[in-house]
Amino acid sequence: MNGAGKFQDQQLLVVGATGGLGSAIARSLKSEGAGLILSGRNEEKLSACAQELGAVSLSVDLSSSAGRVQLAEAVGELDGVVFAAGLAPVAPVRYLKDEDLAACLNVNTMAPLLLVRDLLKKKKLKVGSSIVWVSSVASSRGAAGYAAYAASKAALEAAARCLALELAPKGMRVNCIAPGMIETEMADAAAERISSDALEAHLKAYPLGAGRPADVAAAASFLLSSESRWITGTSLPVDGGFSIK
Ligand SMILES: NC(=O)c1ccc[n+]([C@@H]2O[C@H](COP(=O)([O-])OP(=O)(O)OC[C@H]3O[C@@H](n4cnc5c(N)ncnc54)[C@H](OP(=O)(O)O)[C@@H]3O)[C@@H](O)[C@H]2O)c1
């Protein structure tokens, strides 16, 4: 028993729990009664978060096949998975390095897909389980300097649609969340690379103003829960209206 709440008696895996969005998602799921397994790379941050939330944790590098298999083997049967790990290299294509593109596609696209493959092979996803991948508004909007990142997220959403069809007969669901800019270390790093005028103009593009990690956590909670039982293969924009213009 994990206390009262909509995830009472459920085991949820949060990947990227050391990040700004992943840690907010983990806190929110815990407050709704979930039993948590947390994964990240930074051992210090991960064990602090796991201790705070009374969660089990495992530090792995998701860009390696061995890391993903280790994680898939370590977890028990799951009611849901949130994948909130990611990299955001920003560079005009002319200066894009092979290794940055490869790392971005590896962590943002291949890792979520291959981790689900490994969990399926090891029969760790229960009937009725829900898979949530954190994508980005960049999946459907052009932005100079974001070719690698946008491609990685658009591919992730395309994969989610196909995987959703494969898993529907097993009663499993797959959805993405497409956040706009939310204040985390990743967004801070992106903001540092542009002028203050460009940043101000970007922030003005959000009709509802700036987003918070809790906004993404609320969407993750909805998509993981049975409240969204008839929703699969979609991507939910959580962007204060950025993408409707
Ligand atoms: N913040 C935004 O504005 C925003 C907007 C749209 C979409 N997103 C997406 O939301 C997700 C989370 O972003 P965030 O803002 O929370 O970023 P963040 O604070 O920089 O966190 C990134 C997370 O990814 C993990 N990670 C990176 N490479 C990894 C690897 N090789 N193996 C294992 N873990 C790895 C990091 O682990 P360690 O720190 O332990 O290394 C960390 O937990 C990303 O997919 C991002 O693309 C963010």
pLDDT of residue 185: 85
Is any atom of ligand 1 closer than 6 Å to the C-beta of 25?
no
**Separation CA 200–CA 15 (nearest Å):** 31
pLDDT of residue 200: 85
Domain map of the chain by residue range? 11-238
Atom of ligand 1 at shortest range from CA of 46: 40
> How many other CB atoms sit within 10 Å of the CB of residue 16?
25
Mutate which of 21, 23, 100 for ligand 1 pocket (most atoms within 8 A of beta carbon): 21
Question: Which residue would you say has higher pLDDT here, 34 or 202?
Answer: 34
Contact 9, 2 (CB under 8 A): yes
Per-residue exposure over 87-103, b if at least 16 CB sit within 10 Å of its own CB, e if not:
bbbbbeeeebeeebbeb
Sign of CA dihedral 149, 152, 154, 156: negative
Which two tokens mark 202? 């970007």
pLDDT tens digits for 121-168?
999 999 999 999 999 999 999 999 999 999 999 999 999 999 999 999
CATH of span 11-238: 3.40.50.720
**Separation CA 210–CA 230 (nearest Å):** 30
How far is the CA of 213 from the CAs of 217, 219, 243, in angstroms? 6, 10, 18
Q: How far is the CA of 222 from the centre of ligand 1 (A)?
A: 20
CA-wise closest residue to 186 among 70, 59, 24: 24
Mutate which of 181, 186, 215 for ligand 1 pocket (most atoms within 8 A of beta carbon): 186
Residue 95 annotated among the catalytic residues of the structure: no
Predicted TM-score (pTM) of the model is 0.96
* Percent of the chain whose pLDDT exceeds 90: 89
**Separation CA 145–CA 89 (nearest Å):** 8
pLDDT tens digits for 194-235?
888 888 888 899 999 989 999 999 999 999 999 999 999 999
